[in-house]
Amino acid sequence: MSTPILISSVCAQLPLPAWQKDASLCYLWANSAWQSFAQKNTEEWQGKYDKDLFSDHIAKMIEKGDLFSFNNGVTNEEITLKGKNGQEKTMQLHRIPHYDSDGKITGITALAIDISYSKLLLQQMENMMSEMDIQRNALNTNALIAITTDNGRFVYVSKPFCQLTGYSKKELLALTRFEIGLVPDENFSRSLQALKPLQALQFETCTKSKTGEDYWLETMLVPMDTYDGQIKNYYEISTNITASKHREETLEHEVKIRIEESQRNTIAIEKRNSELLILNDQLRNVQNQLLQSEKMASIGQLAAGIAHEINNPIGYVSSNLGALVGYLNDIFGLIDKYESIFHPHMEEYSILAKERKNIDFDFIKEDINSLINESREGIKRVKNIVQNLKDFSRIDSNQTWEYADIHSGINSTLNIVQNEIKYKAEVIREYGDLPLVNCVISQLNQVFLNMLVNASHAIEKQGKIYIRTRCVDQQVCISFSDNGKGIAAEHVNRIFDPFFTTKPIGQGTGLGLSLSYGIIQEHHGRIEVRSVLGEGTTFDIWLPIQQE
């Protein structure tokens, strides 16, 4: 087999496009790869020229290269070809001219290598390298970049990094991150040692520049390369967060100021509310005192009027009774003398004895003494009633604090309300041993009066009222219990409210218990209530023996 035939046979089997032409550039053959590119069958190639198979532009390009190879020998050329399907490819053509023994051109063999993908990769790599150069220059010019070793020494720093830290590039390359304070915490070295390839470490650092200015950095650190499996260098890109930190500090400071101001305002409001509550309580106490004072003043005026209106005529009656007793004694003495003059056998004696019998003189004489004694007892009772009124309202005192007998106050109050109570309830007194109590007894009498009246009103028909007293430690307790209708549970917490009453309209003002509560509070005591609906109610009044 001749050499041209051998070349043709080998080229025909190549996956690369290959063909052979004669000296006139007429195709002698083309392998299947070139036929596939041109989309021509085998029969269509023999005896054809490039202009018969390709466009004019491609045909002229191929022909121009063939002629160049005839004149210069073996050539390599890159051309861009477009096949029948419109697919464009970059080919590297290797042309080998053929000569006869006389050195005359007999033809040419061409081999095409498709370098389109390689060209594309190369272009992409060039673009990537160009972009990387741009990015590297941009980072070096605008970003805070540093490369450090595992012991923290700087091996690269960007211009902005130098400007922020205040050190020159030469100075930084002679320092470590530890020496300029770029260490987030004491565990940084341990965290760095635990860092594995493809991992990143993010942290914040705060330090001072060379000129003494504070700055904050937020840094992301990643391993760059390894040596014998050990991480040696770290790539660091940082963000200057000083402004945001200052804003945060400013905001935190403002928030702190606002919170402190709010707390001060809250404290002031609470203090003011407390003061208002105290003033309100004081006003309520003053109001209660005024109401009670008016009430006691009215009772005092009534007692004074009764004392004035009753004591004077009673004084007249008492004085007249004394005079009348004297007159009667004189008259009876005179009659006795007259009777001693007459002898029983005298006619006048008989006449007088008859008249004496007719008028029942002995009975009259005896009954007159009885009538006078009863009148004196009546006058004494009236005086006691007036005295009880005076004791109750203390119109003869200035309502000053004094050590008073509680039992005496209860008894005088009972005498006042006896007529109202006696038809509805039996009053049972179970007194204990009580010391004298430092109090305003007239005010406490008012409380006792309210308790007794309310207890009698709670009894619908006939019942019992118990008054019990006892002494516990330095306090006395006065209990008023009744077996009346009781108080509903939903009303118990309201019975001391002013104007609240469970009585029918027109039968209660709702002020009695409110005034009583205020009086006991003034005495630094308390009132406790226990009530069962349908069974009765108990009021326990606790008072200190001595006022502090």
Residue 505's pLDDT band, with cuts at 50, 70 and 90, is very low
Q: Please name the residue that has the structure tokens 């020494």.
A: 153
Mean pLDDT, residues 410-415: 88
Q: CB count, 10 Å around CB of 217?
A: 22
What is the per-residue pLDDT across 224-242, written as a single tens digit (0 to 9) for each? Answer: 765 555 557 888 888 888 8
Please write the tens of the pLDDT for every residue from 38-83.
766 656 677 888 888 888 888 888 899 889 998 898 998 888 877 6
Residue 507 contacts residue 439 (beta carbons within 8 Å): no
Q: What is the pLDDT of residue 3?
A: 45
Nearest to 496 by CA among 513, 519, 521: 513
- Is 253 a member of any domain? no
Q: In the prediction, which pLDDT does 446 show?
A: 84
pLDDT band at 285 (very low <50, low <70, confident <90, very high): low
537 and 405 housed in the same domain: yes
Contacting residues for 499 by C-beta, under 8 A, at least 6 apart = 509, 510, 511, 514
Q: What is the mean pLDDT of residues 268-274?
A: 87
Take residue 358 and report the two structure tokens written for it. 């007719």
pLDDT of the residue at 396: 46
CA dist., res. 69 & res. 77, Å (int):
10
Write out the residue range of the structural domain in which residue 97 sits. Answer: 3-114
Q: In the prediction, which pLDDT does 438 show? A: 93
Q: How do residues 427-449 score in pLDDT, each as one tens digit?
A: 999 999 999 999 988 889 888 98
Extended strands (E) in 295-387: none
pLDDT tens readout for residues 76-97: 888 887 766 667 788 888 999 9
Taking the C-alpha atoms of residue 392 and residue 418, their distance in angstroms, rounded to an integer, is 13
Residue 254 forms part of a structural domain: no
In the numeric block, which tokens belong to residue 495?
């019975």
User: In terms of domains, do 87 and 173 share one?
Assistant: no
For residues 236 and 158, membership in a common domain is answered with yes
Which residues are paired to 236 by β-bridges? 146, 221
Average pLDDT score over residue span 170-188: 88
Which of residues 95, 114, 133 is at a domain's end? 114
Residues 419 and 532 in one domain: yes
Q: Are residues 373 and 482 in the same domain?
A: no
**One domain, residues 532 and 475:** yes
Q: Would you state the structure tokens that stand for residue 108, as one six-digit string? A: 């040419």
Residues constituting the chain: 548
- What is the bridge-based pairing of β-strands 230-240 and 214-227? antiparallel
Task: Say if residues 34 and 12 touch (Cβ distance below 8 Å).
Answer: no
Give the chain's mean pLDDT.
Answer: 79
Q: What are phi and psi of 304, to 5 degrees?
A: -65, -40
Gyration radius of the chain over CA positions: 66
Q: Is residue 257 part of a domain?
A: no
In 48-175, where does DSSP find H-type helix? 50-53, 56-72, 116-142, 159-165, 169-172
Give the residue from 210, 211, 202, 212 showing the smallest Cα distance to 241: 202
**pLDDT-based confidence at residue 356 (cuts at 50, 70, 90):** confident
Buried/exposed 497-532: b ≥16 CB within 10 Å, e otherwise:
ebeebbeeeeebebbbbbbbbbbbebbebebeeebe
- 8 A C-beta contact, residue 476 and residue 493: no
* CATH at 21: 3.30.450.20
Average pLDDT on 253-276 reads: 87
Q: What is the Cα–Cα distance from 131 to 125, expressed in whole angstroms?
A: 10
pLDDT for residue 276: 85
Does residue 37 have a pLDDT over 80?
no
Domain membership of residue 247 (yes or no) is: no
- Please check whether residue 315 lies inside any domain of the structure: yes
Q: Which of 63, 80, 114 is the last residue of a domain?
A: 114
Please state the φ and ψ torsions of residue 26, each to the nearest 5 degrees: -90, 135
Whether 27 contacts 21, CB under 8 Å? yes
Domain tally for the chain?
4
pLDDT digits (tens, 9 = 90+) for 363-397: 777 778 777 877 776 777 677 666 655 555 554 44
Q: Which of 315, 322, 325, 323 is nearest to 369 (CA)?
A: 325
Q: Is the pLDDT of residue 499 over 80?
A: no
Q: What type of residue sits at position 9?
A: S
Give Cβ neighbours of residue 199 (< 8 Å, ≥ 6 apart).
Answer: 222, 223
Instruction: Say if strands 105-114 and 88-99 run parallel, antiparallel, or are unpaired.
Output: antiparallel
SS3 of residue 293 by DSSP: helix
Burial class (CB in 10 A: 0-12, 13-18, 19+), 14: middle
Q: Of all residues in the chain, what percent carry a pLDDT higher than 90?
A: 14
Same domain, yes or no: 72 and 43: yes
Percent of the chain with pLDDT over 70: 79
- Tell whether the model's pLDDT for residue 517 goes beyond 80: yes
For residue 185, the SS3 value is coil
Is the domain of 490 the same as that of 430? Answer: yes
Same-domain check for residues 536 and 413: yes
Q: Indicate the range of 3-17, 177-191, 400-414 predicted with least confidence.
A: 3-17
Instruction: Assess whether 537 and 401 both reside in one domain.
Output: yes
Q: Is residue 262 part of a domain?
A: no
Half-sphere CA count of 151, side-chain side, radius 13 A? 4
State the pLDDT at residue 328: 78
Element containing residue 427 per DSSP (H, E): strand 425-430
Last residue of a domain, one of 390, 407, 435: 390
> Which 3 state secondary structure label does DSSP give 357?
helix
User: pTM of the prediction?
Assistant: 0.36
Answer for the pair 145, 224: CB distance below 8 angstroms, yes or no: no
**Residue 421 located in a structural domain:** yes
Write the CATH number for 486. Answer: 3.30.565.10
Indicate if 420 and 529 belong to the same structural domain. yes
Asked whether residue 416 falls in the same domain as residue 522, the answer is: yes
Residue 161: φ, ψ to 5°: -65, -40
**Is 258 inside a domain boundary?**
no
Whether the pLDDT of residue 133 is over 70: the answer is no
Residues 6+ apart with CB under 8 A from 95: 65, 66, 69, 74, 75, 77, 108, 109, 110
pLDDT bracket for residue 1 (50, 70, 90): very low
Residue 89, helix vs strand vs coil: strand
